Each structure stands twice: as C-alpha cells, then as structure tokens.
Structure 1
Amino acid sequence: MASPIQPEYSSKFSNEFQISRILGMGGFGIVFECKNTLDERSYAVKRIAVSRCRQEIRNRLHEVRTMADLDHPGIVQYNGTWLERPPVQWQEKEDYKRLSKLGLDKYEQTMDHDVYIYIQMQKCDSSLTNWLATNGVQSSRNVKKMKSWIKQLVQGVNYIHEKKLIHRDLKPDNILIVGKDILKLCDLGISTARKYRSGEEVSTLRSDMCTRLYMSPEQKSSMPIYSSKTDIFSLGLIFAEMCVIITVERLKIFEGFREGESQSHIFSDSETDELISLISAYNSKAHPTCTDILNHPYLKK
C-alpha cells in the first residue's frame, strides 16, 4: 500500500518576506532585514529556534509578550509574531536555497526538531555598536548630540522601569539608530519584573545571562542580584563610551568603574565626568533614578 502523500509545507515567512540581508546572529537567534511582499515595507524579522517542548516555547515567548506591551518612541516598534513547525530537514534546505542566493555561506545551524518563533519589528538603520566603530575620532562626539542621545536612552529606560520591568542587558548592540539621530532600545529577551515590598523596590536574585562587558558590580557577583539600578550602571558605561573614544583600554576602564575606582582621567570635561561618575557609582544605592538623570543640570544646558 502506497504511503499517503504529505501536503507541501507552507511557511508564512518564506511566502510573505523577501530577505535582503542578515542584520545579526548569535545565541538569541538570527535577525533578517526583509521586505514584506504584501505591504512592500521593510522590517527586521527575528527568528528564534527552540525545541518543541511546550514549556520552552512558553519561556521563549517572554520577549514577545514583553515587546507587545510596550509603546514608546524609544523602544523598537513591535509588529507581530508567529510560530512555524516545519517538517524534518525543511528549514535547512530552505535556508540554503534562500540565503546562498545572497552570497551567504554561514548562517544559523538548524535542528530537525526545532520550532521557530518569528518576531516582526520595525527596521532600524544601524546600531550604536556600528556607530561607535565608525566614529573613532573625538570630534565626532559632539557634546550637544551626545546629550540628546543620552536623554533619549534614559527616557526609553525610564519607560521600561515605569512598566515595572528591568532590561538587564543594556549594551550598544541593543541600541538601534533610526536615521541619524533617533535611538531605540531593543532585545528585551532577558528582561524581568521589578519586585516591591511595602511600596519599595527590592533586589531579586537572578541567573546571570547578561553581557559581561556592560554588567553592573552586583551582576558580576557570585550571586547576581538585580534591581532597576542595574540598568542605570550599564547606562553609565555606555554614556562613557559615547562621550569619549575608548578602544584598547575599554575592558580596563569598565572594570575600574565596577571596582569603584575613579575614571576621571578619561574625561576632558568635568561636567561629563560628574554625571557619568554618579550614574556608574559602585554602590547601587547611590545611583540616581532615570528621572534624576533627566533633571540633572548637565542635560538641562
């Protein structure tokens, strides 16, 4: 008796999106720049591969649910999500067919048992990481522009904190740029809820999943403890890198901040030094809130 003919698999992503390029790859999955064939607009589409375990799928949908609840100019716009369960070897063959046409011979390795979560988002033009890499002279760090960027980032983080969330992985890779001057936060995959007791925020023990270079002193400890102040310290390191050219000594300088050592020698401007030293203080209890930072005289000028 002949085997029944299996219906051809239909993929929403393959049917409705034309891939232009890969924007990023890593443990988080892969991000494509795509054009939607229906509305003819470009988007960033993030694909996360997970096992078919229901609990793991629910856990990985955390980022989707977090993004869907956020609506702010400083947060990358969320457009929708869907799941795909392709048959064995289908995704590997599809990737080879579609991506090799773009001259790409290295991309995410797929597994036959994978389920794929697709997150459709606003496409941005670049990342702060790219901007830092291509603006390696001090004259590119215009004070007025950097103050505007700092304000935008703090406003975005403040919104996240107001939604009772902690980002936990702030870094230049997770800061995207639209046009020349609009900054947006992305990648809330390991964000977590703020905890309160008697109306006051309390620190919470969490597993260490953040990027080590920009982590706070409390995140680096053997028992990482988090509060919203964790995001503030990371912002301090990012601001330092935005205002001053930091290249080969970056790790040493950032470790100095984490050890509570003054890094005033890297700043030529005392007012910039004052603000960043306040934000990146060793003791998290000394960190200002986002509102405090926005009201700081440095950003009022």
Structure 2
Amino acid sequence: MDANENLDEENIKRCNLSLPSNHQPDPDDGEGFYSIFQKHFKPIKLLGQGSFGCVFEAEISVDGEKRKEWTVDHPLEKVAVKRIPFRFSVSNISTIMNEVLSHKLLKHKGIVRCYDFWTEIPPKGWQRLADEELLNEINTNVELTYSDESSFLYIMMKRCDISLADWLIDNASRDLKIVKIIFSQLVYAVMYIHEKKLIHRDLKPSNILFSRDGSVKICDLGIASVRVINCEDRKGQEVAIERTMDQGTVLYMAPEQPGWREYSSKVDIFALGLILAEMCIVMSDDEREEVFDNYRCGMTNTILKKIPEAENFVSWLTNPIDTERPAASRLHTHEFLRFSQSRQEIKQIRERKRIKKEMDNRRSFVKAVTPWMDDPLPPPNLPVNHRLPNRTKVFFNPTTA
C-alpha cells in the first residue's frame, strides 16, 4: 500500500472490511484482528481450490442481527463461501466492492444468489496458521496457495452441488433434448446479465451450476471484472471500457479478448457457442483445445456435422467477428432452441396440472363433507344445537338472488 493512500473509515465500514484494530494491513502481530469468516461460520469441507482461490461449504454459526440479515431471504442451510486472494490497495478495494455488489444486486433464477461479501486483511502469517487449524478440523490434507502478503475477498453464496463440468464427465451419452433444455436456461441467464449492462467474461462449464431442482445457475459474476457498457461507442455496440490480460479463462475466450483494451458482451456469446459444442459432442482435452482454437481462428470444424442444427447454431455464436455474433436476446429465435414442446405448450401443460390439482382438492373436500351433509348430527367443530339445512329443502329464489 502506498504511503499516500489513506483508508477512508466510512468506506471501510460500508465495505464490511475485517481489518486489524489499528487499520494497518500488515501489523507485526494478530492482536485485535477480527475475522468474519472465522467468527461467523463453521466450515464443513473444502469444495474446491485453484488459481481463483478456494471454496468452503459452511454453516452460519453467528446469532443475533447478523444471522437474521443473512437468513431473511432464504432458509437456514449450508452455504458456499468463496475466498479469493488479492493484492491490497485502496483502488483495488473500490473496484472489488463495485464488482461484487453488482452481483449481489442481481436477482434471477438463473444466477447463483450472492448473500453477502466482505474483505479481510489479516496480519502477515496469520492466515497460514488459521488455515492449518481449519484444514485439520475438516480433515483435509491440502495446501492452499496464496502470498503471505495477500488480502482476501469472501463471497457467501447459495450452495449448489453439481456443475456443468461434472455433468459433462458423467454423461458420455448426450440427449440433445436435455442439452437444449440446459442451454436454453443458460441463454436466459446470460440475457438477463446483458440486460443489466454487465458482461460475465468468464463463462465456462465449471461456472455453470445446477440447483437441487435441476435448474441452471451461473456463478462467479462477482469475480469477473464488471464491464461498464457504453452503448454509444462503436456505432451502438456494447463495449467494455477496460480489461486486464489475466481476466477470463483462455480456453473459452473469444478471439478479441486476449490483449485488447475493449471488447463487448459478444465475448459471452462466443463462450456460449464453445460450451454448446462441448455439450453436444464428447471430446478429449486435446480435441477440445483443437476444436476451440479452430473456432477462434474462423476455421471450419466438422465436429458437429452429424447434428446440422447444432452446427449451424454454434457457427453463428462463434463467428470470429464479434459484430456478426447475435445478441443474447436473439438466440431463442434460432431453430435449435425451438423445442418439440413450445413455451405455449409448456404453459398449457402447467395449466392442466393446476386445474387437475384444483379438481383433486375439490373432490377431496366433497368426499370429506358428504358423510355429514345428510346426517342429522352436526359435523365436527359445530355446536350441538347447530343443524345444517337439508339439501332437498334449499331452493334457488330469483327474487333474492
């Protein structure tokens, strides 16, 4: 941290920073340091780790107002807490908070819910000791990689058990109807992101999750730099103002991403095309890399020749010229996503189910009341002197109707 960078205490409070008591990022000892994660959560297991950091499954262990705040919109259940190391600076804090806040504000069934986020700036060496104790408690023998100078961003999210990457591994035989259903949900989520003037920029199978009911959810929006979209540049094309070289996963990057100062939401469309190709055809790692590179270079791929409707669709999404790719809002116009059951048919099926449920409830009610309708004894919960009218003596009187 530069000497001339002074911490604004109001901004720190608003950002929920967990700082040492003297507000210095690297004090000599840990006295006074308060870790929100350590004090408010009980880690259960390590769900994964990588260059991004690590993810813990955890239970909320704090009581009082903070617990009410965290659980007001969802039932008490296990959550996922992602921890991402970063280099501390005032400018980084501002950028990170803006990025993750934009994720927290997104409310869509196709987006993994972000419940809360905060940063922690532990004293040098403190995190190593805390992690040794934590990993020992959850019986995990791994080494979490980060610099001793690191600060950490924590994101508390809805827990999802399965990713699209897992689904690809477990399903060597791909049903095209299932692929279409999954991909259609994914398209709606991306469309919502773009409508909010954001770009995900790192779509890949491991960032696409399934909830318990099987619905598709996109995660890691708070980690990818939020792109402020300027619709007035490039003749109305949506343009991201800036980017850095290390953002995004190379394998799923659009050709314009690496090294460019500007790119648009069309990078997400390109990634969708690659993901769809991978969903339709089982490929080895080497085959996938070759096929994806061919798409980036605009070369012909024959990988989908046996599925012409998918081949045409993927070619549309992966056009090497970004302005030639469709907007997310146009994707459902393609024949590939015109299911054998249209949305109207799906609505009709749901309506029939609703009517059937209503009729079943009515039948249950009639069945329950029939025994006592003609019975001289009162039904349950009625006073003894109360008598129901005899149905044969109840007539419709037009003068009183």
Counterpart for residue 129 of structure 2: 93
User: Is the 1:42–1:123 Cα contact (8 Å) retained in structure 2?
Assistant: yes
Distance 2:304 2:30 in 1: 65
Deviation sequence 1:44-83 (CA, Å, 0-9, x none): 1111233442222222324311212211111110101223
Q: Match of 1:152?
A: 185
Letter in 1 for 2:197: K
Superposition deviation, residue 13 in structure 1:
1.5
Equivalent position of 1:249 in the other structure: 287
Aligned equivalent of 2:151, options 96, 109, 115? 115
Pick from 43, 50, 54: which aligns with 1:30? Answer: 54
Contact 2:55 2:81 in 1 (8 A): yes
In the alignment, the residues of structure 1 paired with residue 95 and residue 117 of structure 2 have an alpha-carbon distance, to the nearest angstrom, of 15
Q: Secondary structure at the match of 1:116?
A: strand
Q: 2:117 aligns with which of 44, 69, 81?
A: 81
Residues 165-214 of structure 1: CA deviation (Å, up to 9, x unaligned): 11111111211111363111111222312222178125455333211101
CA contact (8 A) 2:54 2:84 kept: yes
Name which of structure 1's ranges 96-105 and 33-42 shifts more when overlaid on structure 2. Answer: 33-42
CA distance 1:278–1:51, shift in 2 (3 Å): closer
- Shift, 1:113, TM fit: 4.3
Length-normalised TM-score, structure 2: 0.67
Secondary structure at the counterpart of residue 312 of structure 2: helix
Residue type at the aligned position of 1:192: R
Using a 3 Å threshold, how does the CA distance of structure 1 residues 101 and 159 change in structure 2: closer, same or farther? same
1:29 maps to a residue whose letter is G
TM-score (norm 1): 0.88
The answer on 1:272 being equivalent to 2:307 is no
* Deviates most, 247-256 or 176-185: 176-185
Identify which range, 33-42 or 223-232, moves more after superposition.
33-42
Whole-Å separation in 2 of the counterparts to 1:56 and 1:250: 35
Q: Deviations over 1:12-55 (max 9, x none)?
A: 21222221222222332221111223565100111123344222
Paired position in structure 2 for 1:161: 194
**CA distance in structure 1 between the aligned counterparts of 2:257 and 2:124, rounded to whole angstroms:** 40
Distance 1:276 1:67, change over 3 A: same
Distance 1:49 1:271 in 2: 43
CA distance in structure 1 between the partners assigned to 2:202 and 2:272 by the alignment:
10
Residue 274 of structure 2 corresponds to 237
Question: Is contact 1:81-1:118 (8 Å) kept?
Answer: yes
**Structure 1 residues 96, 245: closer, same or farther in 2, change over 3 A?**
same
Task: Choose which of 226, 236, 239 in structure 2 pairs with 1:200.
Answer: 236
Q: What CA distance in whole angstroms lies between the structure 2 residues aligned with 1:265 and 1:17?
A: 47
Query: Structure 2 vs 1, CA of residues 112 and 261 (structure 1 numbering), >3 Å: closer, same or farther?
Result: closer
Does structure 2 conserve the Cα–Cα contact (< 8 Å) formed by 1:50 and 1:57? no
Which position in structure 1 is the counterpart of 2:300? 262
Structure 2 residue runs without a partner (length 5+): 1-28, 63-70, 340-401
CA drift of 1:158 comes to: 0.5
Which amino acid is the alignment partner of residue 44 of structure 2? S
How many Å separate the matches in 2 of 1:80 and 1:285?
36
Q: Does 1:127 align with 2:163?
A: yes
Q: CA deviation at 1:128?
A: 1.2
Q: Which amino acid aligns with 1:216?
A: A
The answer to whether the 8 Å contact 2:54/2:82 transfers is yes
TM-superposed deviation, 1:11: 2.7
Provide the rounded CA distance (Å) in 1 between the counterparts of 2:295 and 2:88: 42
Quote the offset at 1:300 in angstroms: 1.5
For 1:244-299, what per-residue CA distance to the aligned partner results, in whole angstroms no more than 9, with x for missing partners?
11113111111111111222343422111111111112222221111211122221
Matched, 1:299 2:337: yes
On the 8 A contact 1:72/1:156 being kept in 2, the answer is yes
Question: Which whole-Å CA distance do the structure 2 matches of 1:130 and 1:84 have between them?
Answer: 31
SS of equivalent to 2:47: strand
Q: Which residue of 1 aligns with 2:265?
A: 228
Whichever residue aligns with residue 104 of structure 2, its letter is: A
Distance in 1, matches of 2:147 and 2:249, equals 26
2:256 aligns to what SS in structure 1?
Answer: helix
- Residue of structure 2 equivalent to 1:174: 207
Instruction: Say which is worse superposed, 163-172 or 277-286, in terms of deviation.
Output: 277-286
Gaps of 5+ in 1: none
How many residues are paired up? 293
Distance 2:321 2:52 in 1: 31
2:319 aligned residue (270, 281, 286): 281
